[in-house]
Structure 1
Amino acid sequence: MNEIASSPASPASSPRLACDSSRLIVFLAYPEMGLLDLTGAQTVFWAASKYMNARNLPGYTLHTASLAGGLMHTAEGLAVNTVALSDFDARTIDTLIAPGAPNILQAMNHSLDLVAWLAEASGKAKRTASVCSGTFLLAEAGLLEGRRAATHWLMCDMLKERYPAIEVDSDAIFVKQDAIWTSAGVSAGIDLALALVEEDCGREVALLVAREMVVFLKRPGGQAQYSQLLKSQTSESAAFDELHLWISHNLATENLTVETLAQQVQMSPRNFARVYKLKTGRTPAKAVEVLRVEAARRLLEESERNIDQISRLCGFGDEERMRLTFQRNLGVSPREYRSRFSR
Structure 2
Amino acid sequence: MSYVIEGPLIFYKSINKTKKILAFSVIQTEEFYPLMQILIEFLNKRFIKYFSVQLRVPDNKKKIFLLNFEEDNKDVIIKFFNIVFQKIAQFKNYLNVLTKEALEAKFLDIFKNKITPNLSILKSDDSILIKNHRSSTIYNFYILNLDRIQTKFSFLHSFLNLASSFNIEGYLILNFKIDRESNVDIMIYFVEIKNDTKFNENIDYKINNFYNNDLITKKSIEIKSFFNLLWRSEILDNGFLFKDFSDLFNINNQYDFDDLIKFNFQFETNLRKKKIKFKRLNKNLFFIENCLLFYFSPILESKVILEILRRYSSQFYIYILIMKDEQYDELLKIEQIEFLKNVVTLNSSKFLKLDFNIFKDLKLE
Give the TM bin, normalised by the shorter chain: under 0.3
Q: Which has a greater percent of strand?
A: 2
Q: TM-score, normalised by structure 1?
A: 0.27
TM-score, normalization: structure 2? 0.26
Higher helix share: 1
- If asked which structure has higher relative contact order (CA below 8 Å, sep 6+), I would say 2
